[in-house]
Amino acid sequence: MHLPANLKLFYGGAWHEPHGGYASTMDPATNISLADAPLADASDVENCVQAARQAFPHWRSTTPEARCEALRKAARILRGNIPALATPQMTVAREEIFGPVLSVLPWRDEENMIEAVNGVEYGLTTALFSGDTSHALRIAAHIQAGCIGINSMAFHSVGSPFGGYKQSGIGREECLEELLEFTQLKSYAVGLGT
């Protein structure tokens, strides 16, 4: 995979030099330098947050169809600029990775997609993007993941159960179910005699 020598940060509709400088990234299998990755500092993060705040009112008023088309356009740009999208066999698609990593797996066959997604041993979060929200919800019912985003990243809020399937954990957090884990149930069997 060949990447540009110096990557930049993209926010507010433009590319920006990072205020935090750059860090060299290496392929651990070959020790070959991949690229100099941008290091965002606090001012870069604040600039990104401001750009998102400015975009949010427009995004909120955008129809689901227009959002879907924008995401499809982004997918076409990614597909045209990423030498190889992830496949279900790749480590990035099979393991939980906590960090700024995006694994894009395009599908045309629904049954194969569900089988491949459920074929991994983890199931914390996932996201489905579709022009038909009802159809995406029907697919989501078959996905073994604790938190599923529909036409958005998977997010959760306090009061909404959060937890994974399979090797991604047992139980749920940030909800009533979590509090119940700290209780002990007891049953009584009382003979009333005759």
Quote the pTM value.
0.51
Strand partners, 22: 38
Overall average pLDDT of the 53-57 stretch: 85
Overall average pLDDT of the 129-148 stretch: 91
**CATH 3.40.309.10 in the chain, residue ranges:** 91-180
Nearest Cα to Cα of residue 176 among 189, 160, 163: 160
Mean pLDDT (the chain) is 81
- Extended beta strands in 12-99, E state: 14-16, 22-26, 33-38
Local confidence band at 138 (pLDDT 50, 70, 90 cut-offs): very high
**pLDDT digit string (tens) for 12-44?**
888 889 998 888 777 666 777 767 778 889 999
Domain 91-180 carries which CATH code? 3.40.309.10
User: How much is the pLDDT for 53?
Assistant: 87
